Chain A
Amino acid sequence: MLFLRVVPPEVVDGVVSGLYKVTGSVVRDVASGRGVAFLQETSVVQSLLNSALSGVSSTLQNGFSPLGAIALIQNQQIKSRLVEVQSSLALLQNLQIGTLAVSGLGLGVSIAGFAMMLKRLKGIEAQLGAIEAKIDRVTTDRRSDDIRMIFADVGTQLDIVDTLSARSNRVSSAEAAEHALATSSGRLEAHFQQKSEAMQIGPMTSEDMDMLWSLAAAIRLCHEAGFRALYSIDELEAAKQLAERRAQRFLNLSQGLTPDSLARLCAQSASDSISFAEARRLALPQAEVLVHGLRDSVASISSQSELAQNLIENQIPGPAYLEELAGEKVEPLLMLAPRP
Chain B
Amino acid sequence: MKFQAIAAELEFLAWRDAQLAAISLQLEDAFPDLLDDLSAQVERAGRVDLVRSRLTLKSSTEAIIQRWGVKQLNSASSRAEAELEDAILQLPGGLKLDSDIWEQGSNVLPAIAGVGLIAGSVAAIPTVISFATVSTSFLAFWGAATISWPLFALGATGIGVATFLGSKSLKSVEARARKSLCNRVHREADRQGFGIGGKPGARCILSDIQAAVVKAGQNRIQGVS
Contacts and interface: CB of A to CB of B under 8 A. Distances in A.
B6 A247 contact: yes
Contact of B21 (A251, A259, A276): A259
B14 interface: yes
A313 B17 CA distance: 36
B3 A268 contact: no
Interface in B1-45: 2-4, 6-7, 9-10, 13-14, 16-17, 20-21, 23-24, 28, 31, 35
B46 interface: no
Contacts of A202: 200
Given A248-B105, A273-B193, A200 B90 contact: no
Interface in A253-303: 255-256, 258-261, 263-265, 268, 270-273, 276-277, 280, 284, 291, 295, 298-299, 302-303
B92 A200 contact: no
Nearest to B206: A264
Contacts of B190: 272-273, 276
B223 interface: no
Interface residues of B, number: 43
Contact of A302 (B7, B90, B94, B194): B7
Contacts of B95: 33
Nearest to A272: B190
A223 to B, nearest CB: 15
A58 interface: no
Interface in B82-99: 90-95
B201 interface: yes
A23 interface: yes
Contacts of B10: 251, 295, 298-299
A232 B10 CA distance: 30
B6 A302 contact: yes
Nearest to B20: A260
Interface string B174-188: 000000000000110
A203 B23 CA distance: 20
Contacts of A1: none
A23 B7 contact: yes
A113 B23 CA distance: 45
Interface of B: 2-4, 6-7, 9-10, 13-14, 16-17, 20-21, 23-24, 28, 31, 35, 90-95, 105-106, 111, 114-118, 186-187, 189-190, 193-194, 196-197, 200-201, 210
Query: Top 10 nearest A-B pairs by Cβ distance?
Result: A33-B93, A200-B116, A33-B92, A260-B20, A261-B117, A277-B28, A32-B93, A260-B21, A302-B6, A302-B3
Given A33-B4, A244-B6, A261-B115, 11 more contacts: A28-B92, A33-B93, A248-B106, A251-B9, A256-B116, A258-B16, A265-B117, A273-B194, A276-B194, A298-B6, A302-B2
Interface of A: 23, 28-34, 197, 200-203, 244, 247-248, 251-252, 255-256, 258-261, 263-265, 268, 270-273, 276-277, 280, 284, 291, 295, 298-299, 302-303, 305-306
16 contacts: A29-B93, A33-B91, A200-B201, A202-B200, A203-B200, A247-B3, A260-B21, A260-B23, A261-B118, A271-B196, A273-B31, A273-B35, A273-B196, A295-B14, A299-B6, A302-B6
